[in-house]
Structure 1
Amino acid sequence: MSIERRDVLKLGALAAAVTLAGAGRAQTPGAAPGETRNATRKLSILILGGTGLTGPHQVAYALSRGHEVTIFNRGRKQREWPGAVEQLLGDRDLNDYKSLAAEVAKGRRWDICIDNPSSVPHWIRDAAAVLKGHVGGYVMVSSLSAYAESATPGDDETAALAPFDGDPLKETMASLRADMAKFAGLKAATEAETLKHFGDAATIVRPGLIVGPGDETDRFTYWPMRLAKGGDVLCPGDGRDPVRYIDSRDLGEWMVRLAEAGTTGAFNAFGPDEALDMAGLLYGIRASTTAGARLHWVPTEFLMAQEVSPWGDMPVWVPGQGETAGFHRRSNAKAVAAQLTFRSLADTVAATRAWFAAQPEERRNAPLRAGITPEREAAVLAAWTQARPTEEH
């Protein structure tokens, strides 16, 4: 069973974003990941969104470095901030920018705008109609899934982006949610719309899988929680497939530093800056528990025959061959040169577990939102044991 192009797009759609290793690389000269200190110049920062996965880390980090922060969103998620944060309300689905337009009418200007949630081009067009000329720079969060293909290892930011069949400006978030196969083409079109309106003042950030504390999708959380339960664990492939991801804290903090430096251009934003594979990831996570989990590596071909899906049933994992050979092998050299840094795996795992443990009991006791179910895991392991009775554990 091969992985079809549509499946690759779905993987990317879910990834619309855990870094590890790299402990010891400086965040800013002489700083460590997560360290806070005043920036060399104070910025006024407008964050579109701000209360999702990455936004809260941007807000907290920007405040810690002495910046003024304004967030613009629907106001559905209220948070307590470690400092003064101005909130403006509006609904981009409805092209409701009245609160921002009122500020602009007063002569308001921001040094930088960070656009976290835009996945359809009309969101950029409509925001630009209000903000163009009133922000010094525009940082747009795209995705590694914006690329046309994922088969070529080592591709960098100059690789071709995905095409879109039709008029992308007519697409809405509702139409995207109804057909996530559109995700890659729409992200690429959203990048193009950003460049159309903001040109050389635009920064395009293409994250990989975004994970860590606050990730409600459980795309990474599955593994720390599953290995903490112990027992026989279904693991994908032979352990040698590469892994790339980004801790939401590293991503959010780095975007603030990009704004401080006035850095523009396109960047692949993921880690680590050293090679990592599924075995390194899962054995590393297992080392943080005492549950005695037994890892069973099952070949990709067998998993495909059993209809065990990459990314969904086996989170983080994408086969490192064929059409997805380059999915976790793109170059992040440009972002690393621009001071993207990475927390350790131990840090990401501990923070993810602590965040999950603090969730309401109903959430903690509910099935995880990603990963294979216990029943299917047991069935696949039983089938594999029957097929390979001499498997070494």
Structure 2
Amino acid sequence: MRVLILGGSGFVGRSVADEAVRRGYDVTVFNRGRRSAPAGVTTVTGDREGDLSALDDGTWDAVIDTWSARGEAVRRTAELLSGRAGVYSYVSSRSVYTGEQNERAEDAPLVDVSDEGYAGDKLRGELGAAAFDGPVLLARAGLILGPYEDIGRLPWWLNRLARGGPTLAPGPRDLPLQYIDARDLANFLLDNAGRRTAGPFDLVSRSGHTTMGELLDVVNEVTGGHAELRWTGPEVIEAAGIQGWTQLPIWLPPGELHTFLHQGDVSKAYGEGLVCRPVRETVADAWAWLQSLPGDAPQRADRPRVGLDPAVEAKVLAEQ
């Protein structure tokens, strides 16, 4: 299969490129050339919001688009590649939903197209992808973890528990989590590109694929067992003014937002072959990748750094 990846050097795009090369596909990546792409791909350079001339020629069986900013850039490539590709897969986000529940997850209400934030950008990207004249798959991913992560969520927990000592562990321990390893997302995209599958799919594991307790226990074990996990109730964390998701990555207290992000219906994706690997594999491989880096983990410039200030953590633990 001939695959064009719009992106291909960071996190999800890199995971897709790695897997496509492993499968023996003919892989082209299009990006600004600021980061190295994996061996075995053809790299063409340009700018999603500027010069697309490197894509003026060529045909592909599948296009996988990992763009996450202004939706107009997606429309431009979808139009340009119409008639020259078999299927267009756009990596969107479950953020496009308002959070209201519906009988089937993919039919839930969407945010207003005028939304000026990340959700609006992703929805406008979906609308831009619709300009493609063939099958369009909308991969509405939830929380994405694994090697190459440039958001910092799992890397923060790995580094924090590796540092050891008393560690604030946000409870309850049995809080169900729902996420997807970037490599499992890559497999789904490539498998379904080959079948020219179309339509929206919510792409995360089943709820409870792991729990907050299992995740941190595995992180602690993989990083050497140096941390003393101090399980702390949501009411204590919230009283201290600590924000879930940002200051305590991945975690959200029980409630409406947790229900939406960690208890979604993903039966449609599993029906199309989604397979999610065990949490231990995701954690161990992410830790091995982090240790292989010459410096800190990469950090996307358009996303704020996550994590809890050690002084704030110490203060909360001292008061318990």
Distance 1:273 1:306, change over 3 A: closer
Is 1:114–2:64 an aligned residue pair? yes
Matched AA of 2:184: D
Q: Which residue of 1 aligns with 2:12?
A: 54
Q: Which residue of 1 aligns with 2:79?
A: 129
Q: Which residue of 1 aligns with 2:219?
A: 285
Q: Which residue of 2 aligns with 1:346?
A: 280
Is 1:66–2:24 an aligned residue pair? yes
Residues 1-393 of structure 1 correspond to what in structure 2 (within 5 A)? 43-81=1-39, 83=40, 85-94=41-50, 96-101=51-56, 103=57, 108-149=58-99, 152=101, 156-165=105-114, 182-195=117-130, 197-198=131-132, 201-272=135-206, 274-361=208-295, 363=296, 369-383=305-319, 385=320
Provide the C-alpha distance between the structure 2 equivalents of 1:80 and 1:140, rounded to a whole number of angstroms.
21
Percent identity between the two aligned chains:
34
Tell me which of the two structures has the higher relative contact order, counting C-alpha pairs closer than 8 angstroms and 6 or more residues apart: 1
Shift of 1:97: 0.5
Q: Secondary structure at the match of 2:74?
A: helix
Provide the C-alpha distance between the structure 2 equivalents of 1:229 and 1:305, rounded to a whole number of angstroms.
26
- Work out the number of aligned pairs and report it: 315
Q: Secondary structure at the match of 1:283?
A: helix
Provide the C-alpha distance between the structure 1 equivalents of 2:60 and 2:120, rounded to a whole number of angstroms.
30
Q: Is the 8 A contact 1:227 1:293 kept in 2?
A: yes
Q: Is the 8 A contact 1:148 1:161 kept in 2?
A: yes
Provide the C-alpha distance between the structure 1 equivalents of 2:31 and 2:227, rounded to a whole number of angstroms.
42
Matched AA of 1:109: T
Distance 1:153 1:376, change over 3 A: farther
Matched AA of 1:376: V
Shift of 1:323: 4.2
Distance 1:272 1:282, change over 3 A: farther
Q: Is the 8 A contact 2:30 2:43 kept in 1?
A: yes
Q: Is the 8 A contact 2:167 2:227 kept in 1?
A: yes
Q: Secondary structure at the match of 1:327?
A: helix
| Cα RMSD, aligned residues only | 2.3
Q: Is the 8 A contact 2:37 2:43 kept in 1?
A: no
Distance 1:227 1:152, change over 3 A: farther
Shift of 1:164: 2.9
Provide the C-alpha distance between the structure 1 equivalents of 2:218 and 2:163, rounded to a whole number of angstroms.
15
Q: Is the 8 A contact 2:175 2:211 kept in 1?
A: yes
Matched AA of 1:47: I
Matched AA of 1:76: R
Provide the C-alpha distance between the structure 1 equivalents of 2:308 and 2:166, rounded to a whole number of angstroms.
13
Q: Deviations over 1:186-230 (max 9, x none)?
A: 2122212222x1366000001111111111222112223322333
Shift of 1:112: 1.0
**Higher deviation after alignment, 132-141 or 373-382:** 373-382
Q: Say which structure is richer in strand.
A: 2
Matched AA of 1:218: G
Provide the C-alpha distance between the structure 2 equivalents of 1:240 and 1:154, rounded to a whole number of angstroms.
26
Q: Secondary structure at the match of 1:142?
A: strand
Shift of 1:378: 0.5
Higher Cα radius of gyration: 1
Matched AA of 1:99: A
Shift of 1:275: 4.5
